[in-house]
A = this chain, B = another copy of it.
Amino acid sequence: MKSETNISKRQVAGLLLDGRARDPGTRGQGRAPANIALCKYWGKRDEAINLPLTPSLSVALGELGAETVLEPIDAADDIFILNGEEVDLRSEAARRVVEYLDLFRPAGLRLRVDSRSSIPVAAGLASSASGFAALALALDDLFGWRLARRDLSIMARLGSGSACRSLYSGFAEWLAGERTDGMDSYAVPLAGEWPAFRIALLMISTAPKPVGSREAMRRTVASSELYRSWPARVAGDIAEIRAGIAARDLERVGRTAEGNALAMHATMIDSRPSILYWKPESVAAMEQVWKLRAAGLKVFFTMDAGPNLKLIYEQGDSAEVERNFPGLRVVAPFGL
């Protein structure tokens, strides 16, 4: 299933900048929302430049996200500040940021990266998607490139696959693309507002995950026999969710998103060794969602590579849903 390519992130950066000057201004700023996939990104066709095996579809989390300010500094090393605290450059998080900056900046330019995330630390949400999307926007601003959204999406993808979907508010679809250089693998916005749409974070556990999601994705592609049918599953689901969004049909979107998340977890469970992110409490919460739905409440869930649930419902059912799941962190993607 892997496309053979010899292209590097640096070469893709060159294609994106297309000869643009790399002279920095005095300050660059970028801001991007977090996103949650309703049709999951699971499996890469190219690990080097984050090309997916399938398309995916997400909703942006409105105000929840990252804001980053870049400033050139006269120093031997970059400075990376996250939520007001300086991060050790030897940490994994800082290393990824520095390597990302290196793709785009001229040699010798050092930067102060001041990033703030409004995602609750314990929310079980990946912060890398909004983080790299904000960083791409800040770089574009700092250098005055004025890249097209589509190119900014590709640029963000080089930092973290799902970051390419964080360039837009509302719903977005990441087109898998076919090219080995990935220049056709970017996200596009899906038209339309859906003010009543709600997505809420139900925390099950904040304990460290037994397997990281990169490794889980890799192991699934390498060892799950059932994963071979995943692309067909996605093809059906993404069309269904797209149609459901166009019709503002929560039932259609919710059922399909839930089934898609379960299918992704099924491919993990089928991996060898098996990857089971569900805790006993995850299963109890899933059962509760199904029980409420059987009683007529329109509430659905999605899950990412972890034990937590994200509930999907409409504003009219907010009180009932929130009464049944105390401690929900509710997001109104299109504003309250």
Interface positions of A (Cβ within 8 A of B): 225-230, 232-233, 236, 255, 258-259, 262-263, 265-267, 269-270, 272, 274, 276, 278-284, 286-287
**Which residue of B228, B274, B280 is within 8 Å of A259 (Cβ)?**
B274
* Residues of B close to A281: CB separation below 8 A: 280
The main secondary structure of chain A at its interface with chain B is helix
**Which residue of B258, B270, B274, B283 is within 8 Å of A280 (Cβ)?**
B283
Q: A280-B284, A283-B280 are in contact. Are A269 and B265 (CB under 8 A)?
A: yes
* Residues of B close to A263: CB separation below 8 A: 225-226, 269-270
**Which residue of B226, B265, B286 is within 8 Å of A229 (Cβ)?**
B226
* Residues of B close to A286: CB separation below 8 A: 276
* Residues of B close to A284: CB separation below 8 A: 280
CA distance A269 to B282 in the complex (A): 14
Evaluate contact between B274 and A270: CB separation under 8 angstroms.
no
CA distance A229 to B228 in the complex (A): 7
**Which residue of B236, B265, B272, B280 is within 8 Å of A225 (Cβ)?**
B236
* A236 nearest in chain B by CB position: B225
* Residues of B close to A270: CB separation below 8 A: 226, 233, 259, 262-263, 266
* Residues of B close to A278: CB separation below 8 A: 283
CB distance from A309 to the nearest CB of B (A): 13
CB distance from A174 to the nearest CB of B (A): 20
* A283 nearest in chain B by CB position: B280
* Residues of B close to A259: CB separation below 8 A: 270, 272, 274
* Residues of B close to A267: CB separation below 8 A: 226, 266
* Residues of B close to A272: CB separation below 8 A: 255, 259
CB distance from A214 to the nearest CB of B (A): 21
Question: Of residues A263, A267, A287, which shows the largest number of chain B Cβ atoms within 10 Å of its Cβ?
Answer: A263
